[in-house]
Structure 1
Amino acid sequence: MYPTTRRMLGGITAATVAALTLVACNADDKDKKETPKAADTPAASAPVAPVPSGGPAASGPARTQTPKSAKPPAGGGTAEPGEDCGPPPTPKPGHKIVYPVKQPTKGSLYYKNTKFVCDPNDGHYEAVGAEQAPLLFAPKATGTLAGPPPRKAEYIGQVWDHIDKCLTHQDDGANTCSSFGAYDLILNAANEITDIKEIWHS
């Protein structure tokens, strides 16, 4: 009977050890399934590099470019941003830029002074202020019409007629009226007009 009891206890002990081993293995498998691999996590696959000390974060606020300002219009006129006519032209000695206000009569030119105004087509002259005392034409005065192309007037009265037609919006054939109607005068020592030239502007 003693050998039988020993065999029974030996069988129970072996079965108990086998059962405990199986439980432990199942527990290990469960832990492995529930715990994700370190390689599967974003933090492990893409480590964050430290910001260098000389980078934007350490250099203060980002600098912004100052926009280029439009150049102020020449001659005191108005202009769109970005237009650039450069400085207003300076009349040559003995020249005067004027704006006729009516047809010349009896050898006199009735006019207003002008100012230079910047525009996309290199600028133009506009009438300013009140009508001035008329200027007289010198004997044998000459004239040039703007055209284009510019052409010498056959006689000074042709320029006078052209001024009248342009001021009253009449057609003057091949002698197209300049859009702003300014004229460049050459004056002699007696302040008389020796030459009058229409300034072309489309």
Structure 2
Amino acid sequence: MKATRRLVGALAVVAALGGGLTACDSDTNTAGGTTGGAGASAKPADGAKGDSPKGGSPKGEPGSDCGTPPQLPAGHKMVEIAAPPSKGSMSAKDAKPTCTPNDWIYHGQGEAKYYIFAPETKAEIALGSGKTKDVPVGELWMHAGDCLTNQSAVKQPYSCSGNIYDITTNSEGKVTSIKEIWHP
């Protein structure tokens, strides 16, 4: 509700001044949606947004409400799976946060990298906002593959929610945990 009031107020000021309203700076604006299913929300762990004490625009521009870009915990990395994972491995692009009118959203960028899963890999599939379920890593591979190739095969309580995953790796670079990031 607070965000809606702020938006309506901002639009009224902009209309009165005859100017334009932008959600982000021109270097990171991706208004118009997501591409390749990589639309996972990048909420910082502390909930920092533009209306929080840590807020502000990415480069200090008025009208931006994304706040400070999210910071991942040490050892964590966001990736966008580029192809259905096969047993023991996956191909994924590094995912970086981008300011959009709907907050920070992760998008895969650059060339896909090859990852191998460690035998002890822990896997979680998203069940909705802030909820996940621990699953065998093979179930996550099937889920990720279905989300990329046949979303109608995904059954409740799961859904396809952006194809962005939070991973950790060991000293050998093998994936030790993978968690699907939920986004509506």
TM-score computed with the length of structure 2 as normaliser? 0.64
- Name 1:116's counterpart in structure 2: 97
| TM-fit CA distance, 1:71 | 6.0
Contact 2:23 2:101 in 1 (8 A): no
**Distance across 1 between alignment mates of 2:23 and 2:84:** 38
1:107 to 65, 88, 108: 88
- Please give the secondary structure, in 1, of the residue aligned with 2:79: strand
**Distance across 2 between alignment mates of 1:120 and 1:71:** 5
CA 1:151–1:71 in structure 2 vs 1: closer, same or farther (change >3 Å)? closer
Which structure 2 segments of 5+ residues have no match? 1-16, 33-61
**Distance across 2 between alignment mates of 1:125 and 1:93:** 17
Higher helix share: 1
- Please give the secondary structure, in 1, of the residue aligned with 2:144: helix
CA 1:89–1:192 in structure 2 vs 1: closer, same or farther (change >3 Å)? same
Which structure 1 segments of 5+ residues have no match? 1-64
**Distance across 2 between alignment mates of 1:95 and 1:166:** 23
| TM-fit CA distance, 1:73 | 4.3
1:189 maps to amino acid: S
- Structure with bigger RCO (C-alpha 8 Å, 6+ apart): 2
- Name 1:143's counterpart in structure 2: 123
Deviations 1:113-138 (A, max 9, x none): 22212223322111211222x11111
1:104 maps to amino acid: P
**Distance across 1 between alignment mates of 2:171 and 2:64:** 38
Q: Whose radius of gyration is greater, 1 or 2?
A: 1
Deviations 1:21-61 (A, max 9, x none): xxxxxxxxxxxxxxxxxxxxxxxxxxxxxxxxxxxxxxxxx
2:140 to 145, 159, 171: 159
1:97 corresponds to 2:78:
yes
Contact 1:75 1:116 in 2 (8 A): no
- Please give the secondary structure, in 2, of the residue aligned with 1:190: coil
CA 1:118–1:169 in structure 2 vs 1: closer, same or farther (change >3 Å)? farther
1:176 corresponds to 2:164:
no
CA 1:192–1:116 in structure 2 vs 1: closer, same or farther (change >3 Å)? same
**Distance across 1 between alignment mates of 2:121 and 2:26:** 32
TM-score computed with the length of structure 1 as normaliser? 0.58
- Name 2:112's counterpart in structure 1: 131
1:193 corresponds to 2:145:
no
Higher strand share: 2
CA 1:94–1:168 in structure 2 vs 1: closer, same or farther (change >3 Å)? same
Displaced runs of 4 or more, over 4 A: 67-71
Contact 1:74 1:85 in 2 (8 A): no
CA 1:92–1:106 in structure 2 vs 1: closer, same or farther (change >3 Å)? same
Contact 1:75 1:88 in 2 (8 A): no
Kindly, what percent of the aligned residue pairs are identical?
A: 36
